[in-house]
Structure 1
């Protein structure tokens, strides 16, 4: 019964976060929709943010596992970067109903060494894989800050593609994939030498 209630709260919260902004969903509303009292929720979750973490944990962990699988493939560095970017785009389209909440809520700058927000720590695991892949393709004499800035720019480009185009499409259309390829080829792959 305990696990059922906790899982029901997570599922209901996910549905509510997809329909309304995170700020507009209250603990009492989650409790009503889950068929339990708001005090019962506090047996499982200390705060609404801990509910958000429970909702975000599985999709963000799936994103990380998919990125890690690409990184472990025996493929070229160029192909690795392109596949990582595609994994991120596919994730964004698949999770479009609450993508902003998964990626942006309680966000921190990527150059901060530590984060106290568990959701940000989950996000950063995937970003670090992307950052490493981008850095592997940049000139060795480029300084760390420049490499970080280029990695941020790639992430911002990916984020922009998802934010703009997932509104109208459930899956990433071929022309968005081509835009991704063209951008990465021109900005990183072609400029490498």
Structure 2
């Protein structure tokens, strides 16, 4: 009980590592309660987001401004501010990005083991992490989300291989078949290697506990 109470207390706090390219948060996971999420500062088309650094998926995605949040159990829309779909920002404004280009006749569709799911479109934009900018990076633009948010993250930065990307042919997610209709592409780090932004084709992540600040 003491451990559970401690974790409940930590869920109301935010850990910030000063001077780092990574922001570490302790909060409710999208998958398991009382788990930790590690967030990274990512700029997409000039707009800043905190994204979950995920080595188990490959797509970098953000919700589009004006996205629809829905209840996965009954497929009914719910307010974006509801605790079960609580992103850290209102979403990505594709119209405000001078470098965004739509990827036509495709859809983005991913379901997670937690039961969360996101669907939408896809496009290309400049994605910057730690002063490293990848141009024409394919990203998922989520228009419908069943997501258990924490009021901090606004999506995921996928760091796995191209074998797990979830962009599909056609615009109807109901027609998607993995891997038959999937369109593979290079995730962020693979694109960084291809564009000569890193000298060696591997990466590591250093996690730092940082210091806790009460969230207002």
TM range (shorter): under 0.3
More strand per residue: 2
**Structure 1 length-normalised TM:** 0.28
More helix per residue: 1
**Structure 2 length-normalised TM:** 0.26
Structure having the higher Rg: 1
